[in-house]
Structure formats: structure tokens, C-alpha cells
Amino acid sequence: MQKLVLLGDEAIAQGAIDAGLSGIYAYPGTPSTEITEYVQRSKKANELGIHSQWSANEKTAMEAAIGMSYAGKRAMVCMKHVGLNVAADPFINSAITGANGGLIIVSADDPSMHSSQNEQDSRFLGKFAMLPILEPSNQQEAYDMVHYGFDLSEKLKVPVLMRITTRMAHSRSVIERNTEVRQQNKINIPEDSHQFILLPAIARKRYKKLLQDQVIFEKESADSGFNKYFDGKDKSIGIITSGIAYNYVMENYPERIIPYPLLKITQYPLPERMILKMYEECSELIVIEEGYPLIEENLKGFLELGIKIKGRLDGTLPRDGELNPNIVGIALGFKDQKGPEIPEIVAQRPPALCNGCPHIDSFEALNEAMSKYSAGRVFSDIGCYTLSALPPLKAIYSCVDMGASITMAKGASDAGLIPSVGVIGDSTFTHSGITGLLDCVNEKTPVTIIILDNSTTGMTGGQPSAATGKIENICKGLGVEEEHIRIIKPLKNKTEENIRIINEELEYNGVSVIIPTRECVQTLNKRMREKLKK
Amino acid sequence: MKKDIILAGVGGQGILSIAAIIGYAALDSGLFVKQAEVHGMSQRGGDVQSHLRISDKEIASDLIPSGKADLIISIEPMESLRYLPMLSDEGWVISNTTPFKNIPDYPDINEIYNIIKSLKRSVLIDADNIAKELQSPKSANMVILGASIPYIGILFEKFEKGINSLFGKKGEELVKLNILALKAGLDAVKN
Ligand SMILES: Cc1ncc(C[n+]2csc(CCOP(=O)(O)OP(=O)(O)O)c2C)c(N)n1
Ligand code: SF4
């Protein structure tokens, strides 16, 4: 046994290394990024030859992990919740193919959208795929459940989804680590050579098996010991809670003695017998879960028959946003507490682009060039540069999902809004901008695409970008005309020249790509510091 | 023993180092620790906070309930006020005086001082100046931490050990400077 102070993310990574992981696949995304970074930094993982390099996007990561599982080894895929949308095709289909080597998908949800476009709940996609789901409530459980998750995946022969939320991912606590590192699996391809061929005739059979196996998954949930039923004397209400929300319930009882029966859900499918027991012995139920009301909807059903069920759907808890001990306390009938109000003079301090950031110079030139045209023509994407939506730049009009800048500019151009501009980051471009640019080239759509090449994935903390050194050639390869691929230096003293170049390309009736190229000042500083050390 | 601490500041001011050292000191004193950090977007010059909980009993929630924080430790004066709803009736605010002005509408600093001084229990400390006098301007966060030690209730030596463990790899000189800053902060509130 060894004691370590770890973030939830790090506990998952350490758990995976210790449980005989052979490869982790991921694309960065808050709050999941630190899982992969931990494996990348781990000496042990390097010694063991565990794969940990970033993938181009979540879909390629998911598919590579399925491939590793096919080969018989244990693989983990990590992403933020919206990444699971990108990976949804292979993810849902992996439930039908099943797994060979243990396969865990970690999806990190971000309720209250601390740094995301939405607060979707990954459990719904897990349920949609009909896969077992694990939802740890603390760092120790996260560590332990990775080992269990690999075993479960290998026993049931299906991938397993682990759902965490921001507070689980980014909260630090002590864990006890099992220092015996389990051996990796040997290469061992599936016995059934058809298992991974989803031709209709095979897929139909495998889908039936998945349906039949639901009973086994449910039995695992009831028997694994991770779902816990605590008795309570007062049966006027029963509490069903899951994941991190369990901690907020406990926080409201300082002696940790709860008068009501409590069911803690850590594993899905929902354990029916345990829920039935609570249903039968309590006069009412309250469901306290982080994210969307998945458990609550399941219990309540459309017709709302039977005993009263309180939770997010009837307003006992807010329908959206992150829970906290106070919100949960109020729902449990406790009086709320608050310190003094925030004094009125306290000003907002929104995040901003760093001083000297190359994006600032790119947008200043773009704003100047666009000033000739009516507003609302610049479609953008997700990354540091999304902050250009705020004052003082106020340069962009959209940010929907990774890659959507290029394709939305195309759609708007198709509609007749010419010129239309798409502004996308380098990492976002290789994540999911390339195919959209190909669409533009194939139709010779009049669009001006600006690919901000800062040699990094800035937003998520400066991971290497798969695009570095390749963007120009990718564009050429896609068929963008060479004379309309313009590389510029986003610097104050080049602004005039840059405005002129942007203007020229805005006027071109076809696909133009402008690539402002200058390194992110954060990664530049980091490199310089490391160089000085040596 | 239970101390619920809100650490406040602006992205890049070093609240995570403070958190790491308090966390180390608490664990070394045999206490339970939980610490919720903010990563991601808010690091770009936005406001940042961390919830640090230490206790002799097992801790349930990663977040401190509002109205229950024993301490708000802030590296920036306006930021110390942003978390007042978290503060308990008996709670202390310990704040640096140096404003971090990266927004156009930063309020009148004297008004901020007045509000902090009007709180039931507060300490204002010119950590940046103290750190500069020690020829270690980057250690302002350690001065603030030093000033907070009497209110945290863990021995000074434990924090020294924490600094050693956090900065040890970066060289003895840095460790020494940070410990000096820590001590200077403590002395400033003792006098
Ligand atoms: C599907 C999906 N995956 C991951 C993220 C998290 N994320 C947001 S922006 C970004 C990368 C931005 O990098 P880049 O495009 O190079 O722009 P920069 O931040 O460097 O300016 C990532 C990984 C996301 N929002 N959506
Ligand atoms: S991290 Fe880099 S890309 Fe992001 S705002 Fe700062 S300088 Fe710009």
C-alpha cells in the first residue's frame, strides 16, 4: 500500500497503470485532460511501454482503443462529455462488437459549464449504448473502480463507461494505492473471427446478445458491492443518490448518521431489487444526482404512478446546473446558510487572451478588413480564440462545436452571405476541420478560412497540436489553390500587410486559406524556461 | 479541528502552490484533506478559486458549503470580496493589498480596503512590498500564506516542510526565499 494525494483524474490514471493498462487514447478536453497527462508523465508507464500519445480527435481515440481491445490488451479512452458526441459512432457500435481486452471509456461531464458549451450527461449515452456505467463518488473509488472496470469489461466482454464530473476530476484527496502492478495482457485476438464485423447479419445477432446480457449487467450492479443500501429508521422518505452528489448529502449530516434509508448508486444499469426495496419501505423518494435526471426519469416514468418522487423534475432541486451541499441541504429540508452578500463594487473578471497572444494580432487585422462589410460574417470555433467574442475584440459570431467554423461559413456562403469567414485553431482544424474544408474545395465555395497556427492546443493547457508543421500541406493536399494559401505573421508591425492580404482573399471568389503563424506565448515561455534549466 | 478555506486570486497568481503547501502541512499533521481546484478556461486572467478543506474527521463534500468557510485567503483584494457569501459568521478574511488590474472597470481600491476593514474579522497585508523587501517579489503568495498560519492552526514547521517538498527540486535558494517570505508574513500579523 502506498498513500498518494491525487486529483480524481490522476487517481483514474494511476488505477489504470496499476491494473495492467496497455494504452490510453485521448484528445484533450476539460475536465478530462489530466488523466492522459498523468500517464504521459508517469515513469512507470513509460517503462512499461504504455501508449499515451494524444489522438487527433475523440473518434480516432475511441477507434484506436477498440483496436487495442480487439488485440486482447487493456485500453482506456478519455474525453470530455462533448467528446463522446464526436466518438458516438464507434462508441455505440462498440457495445455491439463487444470488447476483447478490457476497455474503459472515461467521459468527464461539466455540469454548470465551467468550461464547456453544454452540460450534457454522459450516462444517457451510456444507457443508449446499453453498456455498464461506473460513477465513482471519490478519488479512492475512482482508483478502485478502474481495476474493477477492466475486470468487468473482460468478464462481460463489453466496453464499460466511467462517468465523472468536474468536481470529481479536479478535486484532490488521499488515495491508497495497491503497489502491485498487474501484468499487461498478451496479444490475443478474438476467438470469434466475426465478432468485430458489423455486417447486418452478424450485427443483428450480436445486438440480440447485448439485449439478453442486460440481465447479467444488472445482476453485476446489484452484486458488485459498489451500489450500497444503508438502512434508516425514518421511512417517511428514502434517498437515492449517485456519484459526487452522495458527498453533498453526507455533508448535511455532520455526524454522518442519516435518519432515512439511503441508496448510493455507483454502478449502472440501476439495481432493480435495491430500488424496489426502497420503493416498498418508504412513503416518498428523493433522487439527488449530478447532471440530468437519469435515475429520476427512470423511476418516475411518463405516467408518474405510485409514490411521490422528488428531484430535479418537480423542482425540489434545480433542473439545471451543478449541485452543491447547500442546494442539496435545502432539498433535504435544512435551513440555508450564507455569508455577507458580494459587495456591489466587485467587478466581473472574465478570462481574456494573454498579453502578446498571436490571436490578438490576427483578429485586429481581421476586424479592420471586415469593417468594409456588414457585421455577422465571421464564424468561429472552440479554443482560446473564442475569447475574441468578448470586448474589446468582439470579432466572431459563432462557436458551436469543434470544426463548425468552416462548415457554417460554407453554409452561410451557400446562402449568399459573401464574403463569409471561418476562423479555426490549428488543433481544432486537425480535430475536425479538414473534412469541412474538403467540402468547400469540392464545390469551390467562396469562403475565407483562417487557420490560427499557434503550434499548440492552447485552451486546454498547451498540449502538442497534431497540426504543427502540416497545415499548409494538408490544405494543398485537399486541393486548395496554392496562390490562395497565404501564410502571415500575426505581429503588430505587420498589421497593415496582413489587412491587405486578408482583403485580397475576401475578394477572391473561391476557397482561400490564411494561416497566421506564431507560437502561443505561454508555450513559448515554457520552452524558454526549460531551455534555461538545461 | 476543521478548517474550510477558500483560496482566491487571479489566474497565474499562485493559489495552487498555497493550496499544495497547506495540503501538505495538514496531511503531515495527520489530518484529512480535500481540495477542489479550478482548471481550464478560468486560468486566462480570470478569477480563480480553490476550496481547501482540512479536518480531523473524514470529509464528505469536495465543495465547502456557503456560509461555512472559516477563512478566505486572497492574493488580490477585490477577489477576497467575491467569495463573502461563502464565509461563516466567525470566519476571517486575509487579503493582500496589491490590486491586479487587468479589467477596464476596476473599482476604487480605497473603497475595497474600506469594505475589507469593515468586515467583522479581517487582515489586510501588503504582501507584495514585504516580498520585494526580501528581494523575492515572486513570493508574495508565501507572505500571504505566512500571515494566514495563526488562523489555520497548524504548526509553522509543517508549512516549512511543505515548502521544502514543493520547491525542493527547484533548488535550495528558492526554498530559502520562500521560507523567509512565509516567516515575514507570519511576523507581520504577529506585530
Ligand atoms: C469535442 C471537443 N473536444 C474537446 C474540447 C475541448 N477543447 C476546447 S478548445 C480545444 C483546443 C483548442 O486548440 P486550438 O484549436 O489549437 O486553439 P488554441 O486554444 O490553441 O487557440 C479543446 C481541446 C471541446 N470543446 N470539444
Ligand atoms: S494560452 Fe496561448 S493561445 Fe491561449 S490566449 Fe494565451 S497566448 Fe493565446
pLDDT at B38 (0 to 100): 80
Same domain, yes or no: A216 and A278: no
Bond from prior residue into A269 cis (ω within 30 degrees of 0): yes
Q: Is A450 in the pocket of ligand 1 (CB under 6 A)?
A: no
Dihedral Cα B89, B92, B96, B99, nearest 10 deg: 0
pLDDT at B21 (0 to 100): 96
User: Quick check: is A344 in a domain?
Assistant: no
**Residue that terminates a domain, selected from A158, A191, A223:** A223
CA atoms within 13 A on the CB side of B118: 10
DSSP string, A78-135: EEEHHHHHHTHHHHHHHHHH--SS-EEEEEEE-TT-TTSS----HHHHHHHHT--EE-
Q: CB–CB of A339 and B86 under 8 A?
A: yes
Would you call B25 helix, strand, or coil by DSSP?
Answer: helix
Q: Find the CATH number of the domain harbouring A456.
A: 3.40.50.970
Instruction: Express each pLDDT in B65-93 by its tens digit.
Output: 999 999 999 999 999 999 999 999 999 99
User: Quick check: is A340 in a domain?
Assistant: no
User: Quick check: is A342 in a domain?
Assistant: no
User: Quick check: is A469 in a domain?
Assistant: yes
C-alpha distances (whole Å) from A152 to each of A81, B108, B146, B180 are 22, 60, 49, 53
Q: Is A425 in the pocket of ligand 1 (CB under 6 A)?
A: yes
Q: Find the CATH number of the domain harbouring A272.
A: 3.40.50.920
pLDDT at B40 (0 to 100): 63
| Interatomic CA distance for residues B16 and A476, integer angstroms | 45
Write out the residue range of the structural domain in which residue A397 sits: 358-524
Structural domains of chain A, count: 3
CA atoms within 13 A on the CB side of B97: 13
Query: Which ligand neighbours the alpha carbon of A26 most closely?
Result: 1
Residue B175 C-alpha from the chain's centroid: 18
**Residue that terminates a domain, selected from A172, A191, A223:** A223
Q: Of the candidates A252, A321, A237, which has an alpha carbon nearest to the alpha carbon of residue A286?
A: A237
Same domain, yes or no: A260 and A157: no
A203: buried, middle or exposed (CB in 10 Å: 19+, 13-18, 0-12)?
middle
Q: Of the candidates A299, A288, A296, A297, which has an alpha carbon nearest to the alpha carbon of residue A328?
A: A288
Q: CB–CB of A30 and B106 under 8 A?
A: no
Dihedral Cα A301, A306, A308, A312, nearest 10 deg: -10
Q: Kindly report the backbone phi and psi dihedral angles of residue A66, in degrees, each rounded to the nearest multiple of 5, phi listed first.
A: -60, -40
Residue A99 C-alpha from the chain's centroid: 22
Bond from prior residue into A392 cis (ω within 30 degrees of 0): yes
| Biggest CA-to-CA distance, chain B | 45
| Interatomic CA distance for residues A127 and A398, integer angstroms | 31
Residue A426: partners with Cβ closer than 8 Å, 6 or more residues away: A451, A452, A453, A454, A455, A456, A465, A467, A468, A471
Same domain, yes or no: A267 and A368: no
Structural contact between residues A426 and A468, judged by C-beta atoms closer than 8 angstroms: yes
Q: What number of H helices and E strands is found in chain B?
A: 7, 6
Write out the residue range of the structural domain in which residue B165 sits: 2-190
Q: Is A428 in the pocket of ligand 1 (CB under 6 A)?
A: yes
Q: CB–CB of A342 and B85 under 8 A?
A: yes
Spacing, Cα A375 to ligand 2 middle (Å): 26
Residues 124-163 of B with CB under 8 A from A: none
Q: Find the CATH number of the domain harbouring B181.
A: 3.40.920.10
**Residue that terminates a domain, selected from A263, A296, A331:** A331
Most informative mutation of A362, A364, A384 for ligand 2 (most atoms within 8 A of CB) = A384
Cα torsion B156, B160, B165, B166: sign: positive
With residues binned 3-state (H G I as helix, E B as strand, rest as coil), the percentages for chain A, rounded to 5, are: 40, 15, 40
Residue B94: partners with Cβ closer than 8 Å, 6 or more residues away: B71, B72, B73, B74, B80, B122, B123, B125, B144, B147, B148, B151
Return the bridge partners of A197, or none.
none
Contacts of A251 in chain B (CB under 8 A): 60-61, 65
Report the gap between the CA of A334 and the closest CA in chain B (Å): 12
Q: Of the candidates A116, A129, A94, A91, which has an alpha carbon nearest to the alpha carbon of residue A32?
A: A116
Same domain, yes or no: A442 and A478: yes
| Interatomic CA distance for residues A517 and A523, integer angstroms | 14
Cα torsion B44, B45, B47, B50: sign: positive
User: Quick check: is A531 in a domain?
Assistant: no
Same domain, yes or no: A118 and A194: yes
Three-state helix/strand/coil letters over A338-402: CCCCCCCCCCCCCCCCCCCCHHHHHHHHHHHHHCCCCCCCEECCCCHHHHHHCCCCCCCCCCCCC
Same domain, yes or no: A268 and A196: no
Same domain, yes or no: A63 and A191: yes
| Amino acid at the residue B142 | M
Grid coordinates standing for B101?
488590474
Would you call B74 helix, strand, or coil by DSSP?
Answer: strand
Q: Of the candidates A250, A284, A282, which has an alpha carbon nearest to the alpha carbon of residue A264?
A: A250
Grade residue B44 by pLDDT with cuts at 50, 70 and 90. confident
pLDDT at A76 (0 to 100): 99
User: Quick check: is A533 in a domain?
Assistant: no
Contacts of A7 in chain B (CB under 8 A): 37
Q: In degrees, to the nearest 5, what angle opens at C-alpha B18 toward C-alphas B14 and B20?
A: 110
Structural contact between residues A490 and A498, judged by C-beta atoms closer than 8 angstroms: yes
Grid coordinates standing for A115?
468550461
Instruction: Express each pLDDT in A387-438 by its tens digit.
Output: 999 999 999 999 999 999 999 999 999 999 999 999 999 999 999 999 999 9
| Residue nearest atom 22 of ligand 1, based on CA coordinates | A29
pLDDT at A517 (0 to 100): 98
Pair type for strands A262-265 and A228-230: antiparallel
Q: CB–CB of B46 and A349 under 8 A?
A: yes
Same domain, yes or no: A385 and A435: yes
pLDDT at A494 (0 to 100): 98
| Interatomic CA distance for residues A129 and A211, integer angstroms | 11
| Interatomic CA distance for residues A268 and A149, integer angstroms | 12
Instruction: Express each pLDDT in B145-189 by its tens digit.
Output: 999 999 999 999 999 999 999 999 889 999 999 999 999 999 999
How many CB atoms are closer than 10 A to CB A324?
A: 21
Residues 37-96 of B with CB under 8 A from A: 37-47, 58-69, 78-79, 81-82, 84-89, 91
| Residue nearest atom 2 of ligand 2, based on CA coordinates | A520
| Amino acid at the residue B67 | G
pLDDT at A334 (0 to 100): 97
Same domain, yes or no: A258 and A391: no
Q: Is A107 in the pocket of ligand 1 (CB under 6 A)?
A: no
pLDDT at A61 (0 to 100): 98
Contacts of A460 in chain B (CB under 8 A): 40
Instruction: Express each pLDDT in A316-369 by its tens digit.
Output: 999 999 999 999 999 999 999 999 999 999 999 988 899 999 999 999 999 999
Structural domains of chain B, count: 1
Closest CB to B63: pick one of A33, A324, A341.
Answer: A324
Same domain, yes or no: A448 and A312: no
Q: Is A457 in the pocket of ligand 2 (CB under 6 A)?
A: no
Spacing, Cα B174 to ligand 2 middle (Å): 28
User: Does residue B14 carry a pLDDT above 90?
Assistant: no
User: Quick check: is A337 in a domain?
Assistant: no
| Interatomic CA distance for residues A473 and A514, integer angstroms | 13
Pair type for strands B47-55 and B2-10: antiparallel
Same domain, yes or no: A204 and A241: no
Which ligand 1 atom is at minimum distance from the Cα of A85?
Answer: 1
Same domain, yes or no: A511 and A382: yes
Contacts of B35 in chain A (CB under 8 A): 171-173
- DSSP 8-class letter at A254: T
User: Quick check: is A347 in a domain?
Assistant: no
Report the gap between the CA of B77 and the closest CA in chain A (Å): 10
Most informative mutation of A520, A523, A524 for ligand 2 (most atoms within 8 A of CB) = A520
Contacts of A345 in chain B (CB under 8 A): 107-108, 111-112, 115
Grid coordinates standing for B27?
496531511
User: Does residue B42 carry a pLDDT above 70?
Assistant: no
Which ligand 2 atom is at minimum distance from the Cα of A358?
Answer: 8
Q: Of the candidates A458, A397, A394, A452, which has an alpha carbon nearest to the alpha carbon of residue A423?
A: A452
Q: Kindly report the backbone phi and psi dihedral angles of residue B87, in degrees, each rounded to the nearest multiple of 5, phi listed first.
A: -75, 140
Instruction: Express each pLDDT in B52-61 by its tens digit.
Output: 999 999 999 9
Q: Is A495 in the pocket of ligand 2 (CB under 6 A)?
A: no
- The owner of cell 486529483 is A7
Q: Kindly report the backbone phi and psi dihedral angles of residue A296, in degrees, each rounded to the nearest multiple of 5, phi listed first.
A: -60, -45
Work out the angle between the directed axes of helices A88-97 and A58-70 (0-180°, nearest 10).
20
Structural contact between residues B167 and B174, judged by C-beta atoms closer than 8 angstroms: yes
User: Does residue B37 carry a pLDDT above 90?
Assistant: no
Query: Which ligand neighbours the alpha carbon of A457 most closely?
Result: 1
**Per residue of chain A (534 residues), what is the pLDDT tens digit?**
899 999 999 999 999 999 999 999 999 999 999 999 999 999 999 999 999 999 999 999 999 999 999 999 999 999 999 999 999 999 999 999 999 999 999 999 999 999 999 999 999 999 999 999 999 999 999 999 999 999 999 999 999 999 999 999 999 999 999 999 999 999 999 999 999 999 999 999 999 999 999 999 999 999 999 999 999 999 999 999 999 999 999 999 999 999 999 999 999 999 999 999 999 999 999 999 999 999 999 999 889 899 999 999 999 999 999 999 999 999 999 999 999 999 999 999 988 899 999 999 999 999 999 999 999 999 999 999 999 999 999 999 999 999 999 999 999 999 999 999 999 999 999 999 999 999 999 999 999 999 999 999 999 999 999 999 999 999 999 999 999 999 999 999 999 999 999 999 999 999 999 999 999 999 999 999 988 877
User: Does residue B43 carry a pLDDT above 70?
Assistant: no
Q: CB–CB of A353 and B44 under 8 A?
A: yes
Q: Kindly report the backbone phi and psi dihedral angles of residue A103, in degrees, each rounded to the nearest multiple of 5, phi listed first.
A: -135, 120
Dihedral Cα A39, A40, A42, A46, nearest 10 deg: 110
